[in-house]
Amino acid sequence: MAVGRVEAGQRPQARARKGRPLGVSQWTPYLFLVVPLALFLMWVIGPLFYSFYLSLTNWDGISAPKLVGLANYRRLFADPIFYTAVWNNVKWLISFITVPVIMGLALAMALNRNIPGARLIKAIFYSPYILSLVVVGLIFGWIYLPAGGLLNSTLSTLGLGALSKGWLSDKGLATWCIIAAAVWRQVGYVMTLYLAGLQGVDPSLVDASKVDGANSWQAFRHVILPLLNPVTVVVVVISIIDSLRSFDLVYIMTRGGPANASTVMANFMYIEAFNNYNMGYAASIAVILFLITSIFIFIYLARVMATEMEY
């Protein structure tokens, strides 16, 4: 009876400790988050809010910032270079959500079968993505050289020398030439994402559709593609974010030239900050870029949360 009374008296305490080791406080797991949260606040959240503050100032990076209110934003929306940069980012965005997605999906469908050398082919197509953007920029800068460049030399060899030109010095072509280099690098990455998605497609569903009379295109259109929808959402959002933060290739290949014809928002921001020492003005460009990018990120998160709620 005594033992029973002791056990009964200890039951609430046992219940309180249930689910965690003896002697571990309920606050212990949160203590492990202190350092990561502190670093996140210091290196991400802090600079983010500081950029918002700097966008309201006139600052050369040396003297004390002077508050100017919305003057930087008024100047920005009256600057023709800003609109050129935005339009070039739109070109990047459209190119990134069409060409790499279509080519990556086509390659994934072609290589998602037992064919000789499939692994080697996958590695070849993926290898450009592991190259540094600086290396890619230098390679394509050499390809586009007016004299001795691979592209013009090839055209001359084929008897099409009349088409040779200074590709990166042409205002109408410079942006598209840089985008071509970026797309070449991006295709292999998109292919890999779709290959991973195809592993989750049940082959029996495809076989069932063919038994019902569907041809290969119909099976792809009505069975495989809908099942790849989650992967497509990820691919599109990543492509949009990559297109909006494009900087490296532009800076390496043209510095935004000729005459700012190929500049993008990130390159425009960098030049204003570190070449012209207009830190406040550059911060306003960064804020606008952040807000545009956030729109797509929130759309993606809303889509993911809605999908999770369905399950």
Per residue in 155-172, pLDDT (tens digit) is 999 988 888 999 999 999
Identify which of 282, 261, 247 has the alpha carbon closest to the alpha carbon of residue 75: 282
Helices (H), ranges, the chain: 2-17, 28-31, 34-40, 46-54, 71-77, 80-96, 99-111, 118-126, 133-143, 150-157, 174-198, 203-211, 216-219, 225-227, 229-244, 248-253, 265-270, 279-310
Domain boundaries, the chain: 80-310
Q: Which CATH class is domain 80-310?
A: mainly alpha
Cβ-proximal residues to 55 (8 Å cutoff; 6+ apart), any chain = 72, 73, 280, 283, 284, 286, 287
pLDDT of residue 20: 55
Pairing of strands 66-67, 57-58: antiparallel
| Mean pLDDT calculated for residue range 136-141 | 94
pLDDT at 148 over 70: yes
**Cβ-based burial of 97 (10 A; exposed 0-12, middle 13-18, buried ≥19):** middle
Task: State percent of the chain over pLDDT 90.
Answer: 58
pLDDT at 18 over 80: no
Question: How many other β-carbons are positioned within 10 Å of the β-carbon of residue 140?
Answer: 25
Task: State percent of the chain over pLDDT 70.
Answer: 91
pLDDT of residue 16: 47
Say what the pTM is: 0.84
Residue-wise pLDDT tens digits, 26-68: 787 788 888 999 999 999 899 999 999 999 999 988 888 999 9
